[in-house]
Chain A
C-alpha cells in the first residue's frame, strides 16, 4: 500500500466515507483509516446476539439522509444501497392498548390522529404543508456550512414569516406541541422524538428538530436499509473503492502530524505513517482529534479550553434481542409493523426522564424506543426468527443514583446495566404479550460498552456533542470553528460534531468535503446535484 495520499480521512462512519467519496470523485487519492474491525461507525450492523441475527448497533432508521444529495451524487443505489420503508413510520402505544401512528400516507396519519382529536389532525396537515413549502430551504441549510447568527437573523428579520422561523429555532418541544395539538396522545406521538436527540421537552431549540424529523418521516419515510444500517457504509465503500480510494480497518491513529502549523499526515500506533499532500479530515470528535491526535502544543490555549468544555450530551444504552418468532404488541399490527414504537405513557413522563438524567439518576421509568427490524426486513434474521432492539435514551453517565428510590445501588454501568435492562423489559412486557416466551437471547450494551467499541460514542452518547442551542449552528462544535476548517492548516472536521450534527444525514461529510475542495480551488458545484 502506498503511504502518500492527497487526503487522509480518519473514521469510516457514514460521514467519513461520504467525505472521502466526494474527495475521490474530485480525483483525489484518498485513504480512510478506521480503528474498528469493520467500517460503519454509527451505522454498524453486527451479529451481537446469535449467529444469523443482524443487529443495528447504533443507528437504525434513516431520515435525514433521505434528503442527502449524496444518494444521487454518489449513485449509492447502484452501489447496493436499498432502502425499505416500514409503514407506519412510527407509532406511540399507550397503557390502554391504543395506538397512534404516522403512516406513509398523510390521509392515513390524519385518520389515526383523528381518533384522538380532529383538530390535531388538521394541525398536522397544516404543519406538513409548512414543511413542504420550506423543504428546499431546509435541505440547503443542512447541506451547507452553518450561516453566522448575524447573517441568519438579518435574512429572517426581513419578513413576518422569517421572524416566525427565527422564533421556531428557540421554542421548546413542549411549547410547540401545546401550540399545535390538544390531545396528550398526539403530543406524546410527536414529542417522543425530542428524546432521540437528548432534548428535554423544555429545551429551547428542540421543536425544530422534532418538526423536521417527523415531517421527513411523513414525507420521505422512516427508512431502514435492507440487510442492516451498515448497508449505507458498504455502498459508500463500493463507490470509494471504484474510484481508487482505500480503506484500512484496525488502523489505530496515534497522532496527526503537524509541521509548521500544517497537518502533514497521520501516524498509526503500530508506527506506520501516511502522508497527506493536501488534507487530513477527521470525522472523530474534537477531544480526540485535537487533544489526543494533534496535541495541545499545537493549539492555542483558548481552543483547548473550548474543547474541554464541550458538553457531549446524555448517554444511551441498547438492549438487543434475538427472538424465536414475531413479537405481538397488545396494540396490534399498527405497532407490530412500525419502524419505531414509542411506549412512553404520556407527555409529562418524558419531562421527568430528562431531569432525572441531568441530575445523574437512572430514571424511575427509563425512556426507550423499540425497533421492529424483521417486520419489514426478513433478511436480518434466520427464516421465521426475529431481531429487535430497544434504544434507551437520556441516561446518565456517570451514574449518581437511582430515581426509583435507590432500588439500583450500583453506580458502575458494567454492574448496573442488567438491572436497568430488567426494569425496561418489565415495562416493555406490558406492551408485547409474548416477549418473555419468544426471547432467545438478550444482549445489553451500556454507555461504557458502546464507547469501548467506538470511541466516537464519547461518554456513551450518540450525539458527538449535545445538540442544545449553545452547541448548534455556528456554535458547533464550538464558537470560531464551525466551518469545517480548523486552526491547523490542512486539517478539517467532517463528523457529527459539526453542523448539522448527529444522526445519519451524511451532511457533515458532505460539508467537510466541500470545505476541503473549495480550499483547493475545486468547483464543488460540478460534483453535486444540489442547487
Chain B
C-alpha cells in the first residue's frame, strides 16, 4: 500500500449522515479524508432496505427530510449534481381525528389556516401569529442549529438586553403544554402541535423547552415542507458518498474501528478489525456516540477521570420507539381526503392523550393509546415499490423496557397489533392492505444499529441539561475532546439527533478552524 492509502488528513469513524457530512465539508476545503464504516453499507440512521417483500424498499429508521431542509448542507454541497432528488409532498402533514375531520399543513399558508379554522377561527389566527414569529426569528433559530452552540453567558446576556429578547429567553424554557394551552382553544389543534415535540424529539409536552422544539418543527414544515428523497434515504447517503469521493475522500465499509490511536496526547490514527492501521495527519472525527467512543475506542489513560464521569452520566432517552414496517397492497384510505395524500400523518386525539402516552413510557408502561407518525413516501416516489404498491412506515413512541425487561416477540407483536387497530380507526383498510409486516422493538433497532443506543433517535435526551452548551457535556460542547485532534460529530452533539447532518457540519467547521 502506498502512503496515500494509509495516511489521510482526517479520518472519520462511522459512515452515518453526520460522519459523511463532516467528511464532505473537510473534502470541500481540500483535505483528504477516510470514512470507515463497520457495516457493509453507509447511512447509520438513514438506511433503505428490502425488509418485507422483494421490491419494497423500506427506510429502516429515518424517512423524511425536515430539519435537513432548513440546513445549508444540500445547497452548499450541491447534492443535486451528485444524484439527490427530493420531492415535496403537498399537503405536508396532517392529523386526522375520529370525528372524520383533520388538521393539515399545506405548502400554502392560507390552506393551512383554512384547515385549522374548521376547528377554531381563533386558533387559525394564533397559528398565523406564531408562524410570523417563526419567520421573523428563523435566521437566528436556524443559524443557531448550524453553528457550534454559544456559551450560556453570551446567549443570555444578549437576550437580556431587550424586552423581546428577555421574553424569548423565557419562551425557550416553556413547555409545549403551557404554550399550547395558553395559545390554542381546540383540543385538536393542541394535539396536532404537541405530537411534533413528542414524536420527533423525545420530550414530553411538559418538558421545559418543548415549546421551542414544536415551534421550530412546525415552522420548518410550513416554510420548507418535508422532503421525500427519491429512492429512499439511502439515496441521500449515496449522493454524499459521490461528493466525498469526488473531493479527495475515500470510503471503507465492512471494517470496524477498534481503537483510536493516541500519540503524545493527540489522535494520530485508527486501528481496525481487519488489522489495518490508518494514520491521520490532522484529526479523527467520531460519528460514534461518546459513550462507546470513550469506553471502547479511546484508551482510558488518554482522558481525565472527571471527563469520563461526564461521559458516563450522559443519558439516552428511555422513551424509545417501536417501528412498524409493512408492504401494502394499496394506500391507506384515511377518511379525510387531505390526510390521504399528506406526506406525513400523525395520530393523537388530544394533548392529554399524547401526554399520557408519553409519560406512561417514562415509567415503563406501553401506552394504551399510542400516538404515532406514519410517513407517506410511496405516493410521491414510485421507485420504492412494485407498481401500485405502497409502504407503511409507522413510528410509535414506546418504552425502552417493559416493566424493566427487554421486549419479547409476543409483547412487540401485540403492541403492533394495537397500533394497527388504532390506525384502522382513521384508515379503515389498514389491516386489510398489509401484505407483510416487520416490527422492530427498541432492542431490535439497537441491534441493527448499535449507535442508536436505546433506539433513541435523538441520540441522547434533549432536555435542557443536555442541550446547547451543555451538549453532550458541560464545557465540551464545541465538538472537541480532551484528546487533541479528536472531535465528536454524532447526534449526541449540538444540535442533536435525527438526519440533519448539522452535528457533522458543525464539527467540520471547528476542525477546519483548528487548522489555522
Contacts and interface: CB of A to CB of B under 8 A. Distances in A.
A is bound by B:
yes
A311 B208 CA distance: 14
Interface size range on B against A: 35 or more
B337 interface: no
Interface in A169-193: 170-172, 175, 179
Nearest to A359: B352
Interface in B130-176: 151-153, 156-160, 163, 166-167, 169-171, 173-175
A160 interface: yes
Contacts of B166: 479-480
A75 interface: no
B504 interface: no
Contacts of B485: none
A157 B153 contact: yes
B474 interface: yes
Interface in A449-488: 468-470, 475, 478-480
Interface stretch (B80-88, B355-363, B438-446, B449-457): B355-363
B169 A202 contact: no
Interface string A140-165: 00000000111111101100100110
Nearest to B178: A311
A358 interface: yes
B368 to A, nearest CB: 12
A470 B179 CA distance: 11
A358 B355 contact: yes
A326 interface: no
A311 B175 CA distance: 12
Contacts, number: 114
Q: Is the interface of A mostly helix, strand, loop or mixed?
A: helix
B490 interface: no
A166 B473 CA distance: 12
B313 A179 contact: yes
Q: Is the interface of B mostly helix, strand, loop or mixed?
A: helix
B177 to A, nearest CB: 6
Contacts of B475: 160, 163
A218 interface: no
B14 to A, nearest CB: 27
A200 to B, nearest CB: 6
B363 A352 contact: yes
A202 B361 CA distance: 13
Contact of B204 (A150, A202, A478): A202
B363 A203 contact: no
Given A150-B157, A157-B152, A355 B359 contact: yes
A351 interface: yes
A157 B470 CA distance: 11
A170 B152 CA distance: 12
Given A149-B169, A202-B206, A469-B208, A167 B465 contact: yes
Interface string A350-362: 0110110011100
A229 interface: no
B352 to A, nearest CB: 4
B173 A469 contact: yes
Interface string B455-493: 000000001110000100011000000000000000000
B355 A355 contact: yes
A202 B157 contact: no
A150 B151 CA distance: 10
Nearest to A201: B362
B160 A150 contact: yes
Contacts of A164: 474
Interface in B200-218: 204, 206-209
B49 interface: no
A470 B465 contact: no
Contacts of A175: 315, 463, 465
A203 B313 contact: no
Given A202-B206, A355-B355, A480-B166, 18 more contacts: A148-B160, A150-B153, A154-B157, A166-B152, A170-B463, A175-B463, A179-B313, A351-B359, A354-B206, A355-B204, A355-B359, A358-B355, A359-B352, A360-B352, A468-B208, A470-B208, A479-B163, A479-B166
Closest 7 CB pairs of A and B: A150-B157, A153-B153, A204-B208, A153-B152, A355-B359, A359-B352, A149-B156
Interface of A: 148-154, 156-157, 160, 163-164, 166-167, 170-172, 175, 179, 200, 202-205, 302, 309, 311, 348, 351-352, 354-355, 358-360, 400, 468-470, 475, 478-480
